[in-house]
Chain A
């Protein structure tokens, strides 16, 4: 455990904390906007008015730093501290809203910018010529400076591609692509599904691969994820590219089937040909003609082998959890996949609308192979915490969708009466039950106690 800093943890973690050639990097611009760019060799990265630079300058840098672009070169900046504001007597009572307060014209500002004057200097000049700046409250002055900085500063930050950050990026950019899954909701799904290194999971990810990315990131190469998709080629999970996972890690952890190949009584033509006595993949005359043909046949054989093995893996069952964020009706998915869950396995279904889930819950409650189905909705509120200016953000997201959670159990219709199991080996009654419970279990349970 007491390993050195550099190699303290798992295989791909180290690679993920520093920018490498070929990485997809998220950038935060002074305007607050996020941009995704791929680092490729010596390409120029341009952020328009925020400057441009050679992408190779970022290679080897740790994620999470802020840079200033000076003469097309990057200068890493120290972390920016928040400024304490002195309360003053100023109020806005003397500020006339209609007055033109900035004698510096747009043309003059443009001239300053093109002459290479740093942003801080332009802002300083603007403040000096601002007729009413002194009348403003300190809060208002601060806001003014921040607004100007967002306009002129040639700065940007790199953002570490954590699942949280990638989810936030997509949720703000196009939440429809990720099934309306918000970061808090995704986090709850991962915990409810008991995602851990070494686990074995089944997922239906119609959220552009956000679920798969999150599970793979948590397992970091240890464990297995089998996804079921609705295309007849390996699923395109576009979110995966943001995670910059190691290709080998993905290949050893992730496998996929589609709704047809995931059916036990469906025999894909490729597999039937593989298992038949005379494999038609080989030419009828038994002679392999060219090297290319040989390669093609081998490749085909490999694909067939992988498909057959993945199917066997699914049908063998004993998956720890089933995670669903799908555009298909969830109960129809459950009917197909729940049999492959282990006893006590977790079922986690996400939907942007509650109606879809409440219908499923009504069905699960009537079915003794599902225990404790419950629907929850995440609620999240972010605060600005600047000194003296702490308040919730003015604009928040409405909903990150709903989660249905249930536990797969084995029913025993006779269990209502007497214990049928092991009735034969009756043993004499030994000591009392109090020690049988764990210490403290007489305390009230964590949840609110309600009458049954």
Chain B
């Protein structure tokens, strides 16, 4: 399954990483070209360079990273034939079903093969995945894909409606995974496929609660026990480096400054209006009639705004530059909200250094809220299979000596 070599060879499947949201699979085929928004690449130029390399485009339009495929990268880049399973569900199912090296697993349906790749990787050459798909074209596409990915000896795809016709294996597999519209109709068949000499497990993957209820009832009727259901999701956290948060003390200092400036402004206004009044008085005295108060008021207002503008501290030092004192920059904002404060901390050799940048994280704004319900059940080993063990125990059974429990 996929290349284990250090370097990329012709015919390899590589994962081309453009950005976190744009990851594409590519089969390296000499003679072909890869044209992306991050430039042009010749397949033949990719041969012989190590997996994990950053590669620049021929036309200088950017670069890509060439990665070794993993089921996880494949899930992020695969061609969708159907709705697919993602990491959180896949990993939880694999773990609950105890799928590991050498496991025999049944899967229905194959779908786009996201789960199949993960299981194939985990079970390896000693295991086998019996995959069933009722859509013939999808079954053929999946089979071709597994073949191309060197998984033909680990995965076998059977075109079959398992709800009607059941599985092709009997008393054989360690676990069954059902991703079907009506999993309850395949539960009895699944029981036949599971081996009876040890504990085996089943998982049914259904997006709707109504499906879960029918499945639970079918599992119960079929003799499965420990029936339980889980939901699991991944919450991505976004990490950012930002200037440290300003302190309340800094807000207080800014407000004090603002209030002092307002007082200064008021005094200026008072002085201006006194001058106006004196001027009006002189005017009245000379004209002997009332002047236009309105105009004078407007004029005074205009003057004070000018004064306020002059008082605005605007320090445009570049961020991150060390400075001996805290620079407070008031950025005027619209709509009467308080101005945003951007601060640079005081750095002095005598004081412990306060970092100017902090790392913060928060949950991404839009996250997946539901994928499917995972209904699990256990099929206990058949009681008949322990006759040997019981016989063995009977022969070695002796009168038991009184002993304290070996609790640890």
* A residues lining the B interface (CB < 8 Å): 1, 5-6, 8-10, 13, 17-18, 24, 35-38, 40, 42-47, 52, 54-57, 59-66, 72, 76, 78-82, 160, 162-164, 183-184, 186-188, 190-192, 194-198, 217-222, 318, 342-346, 354-355, 358-359, 361-362, 365, 368, 371-372, 374-385, 387, 390, 402, 407-412, 414-422, 425, 427, 429-433, 435-441, 443, 445-450, 452
In the complex, what residues of A have CB within 8 A of residue B375's CB? 385
CA distance A82 to B59 in the complex (A): 67
B227-A377 in contact (CB<8A): no
In whole Å, how far is A281's beta carbon from the nearest beta carbon of chain B? 37
Binding site for A on B (CB under 8 A): 6, 17, 19-27, 29, 31-35, 40-45, 48-60, 62-63, 65-68, 70-72, 75-81, 84, 86-88, 90-92, 94-96, 98, 100-104, 118, 121-128, 153, 171-172, 174, 195, 197-199, 209, 212-213, 216-217, 220, 223-225, 227-237, 239, 241, 359-361, 363, 366, 373, 375, 378-381, 383, 385-386, 388-390, 392-393, 396-398, 400-408
Q: Which 6 A-B pairs have the closest CB atoms?
A: A343-B52, A440-B79, A60-B389, A64-B199, A415-B56, A9-B102
The smallest beta-carbon distance between B130 and chain A, in angstroms, is 10
Of B33, B124, B231, the contact of A196 (CB 8 Å cutoff): B124
Contact A59 B389 (CB under 8 A): yes
The number of A-B residue pairs with CB atoms under 8 Å apart is 391
Decide if A37 touches B407 in the complex (CB within 8 Å): yes
List of A residues within 8 angstroms of B59 by Cβ: 418
Do residues A54 and B400 form an inter-chain contact, with CB atoms below 8 A?
yes
B6 near A163 with CB under 8 A, answer no
Write out the residue numbers on chain B whose beta carbons fall within 8 Å of the beta carbon of A368: 54
Give the distance in Å from the alpha carbon of A164 to the alpha carbon of B401 in the complex: 35
A427 and B43 alpha carbons, distance in the complex (Å): 11
Asked whether B199 lies within 8 Å of A427 as measured between CB atoms, the reply is: no
Additional A-B contacts beyond A17-B198, A38-B408, A446-B77 (17; CB < 8 A): A5-B171, A13-B103, A35-B407, A38-B406, A60-B393, A184-B232, A196-B124, A197-B125, A344-B66, A378-B232, A378-B234, A380-B230, A410-B52, A411-B54, A419-B55, A438-B25, A447-B20
Q: Which residue of A lies closest to B233 (CB)?
A: A379
Decide: B232 and A163 in contact? CB cutoff 8 A: no
B370, chain A: closest CB distance, angstroms: 11
Alpha-carbon separation in the docked complex, A402 to B238 (Å): 12
Cβ of A213 to closest chain B Cβ, rounded Å: 12
- Is the CB–CB distance between B51 and A80 below 8 Å? no
Q: Is the CB of B383 within 8 A of A78?
A: yes
- Chain B nearest CB from A41 CB (Å) reads 9
When C-beta atoms are compared, the residue in chain A nearest to B216 turns out to be A385
* Contact (Cβ within 8 A) B198 A9: no
Q: Is the CB of A44 within 8 A of B400?
A: yes
A385 and B32 in contact (CB under 8 A), knowing A56-B397, A197-B101, A445-B21? Answer: no
Which residues from chain A contact B51 at a C-beta distance below 8 Å? Answer: 342-344
CA distance A110 to B103 in the complex (A): 49
Smallest Cβ-Cβ distance to B14: which chain A residue: A344
A432 close to B33 (CB less than 8 A): yes
Measured in the bound complex, the distance between the Cα atoms of B6 and A384 in whole Å is 48
With A186-B95, A371-B17 known as contacts, the answer to whether A418 contacts B381 (CB < 8 A) is no
Contact B118 A191 (CB under 8 A): yes
Residue of B nearest to A382 (CB): B230
Known A79-B380, A81-B223, A430-B31; judge A343-B50 contact (CB<8 A): yes
Instruction: Assess the A418–B128 pair: CB atoms within 8 A.
Output: no
User: What's the Cα separation between A360 and B31 when bound, in Å?
Assistant: 42
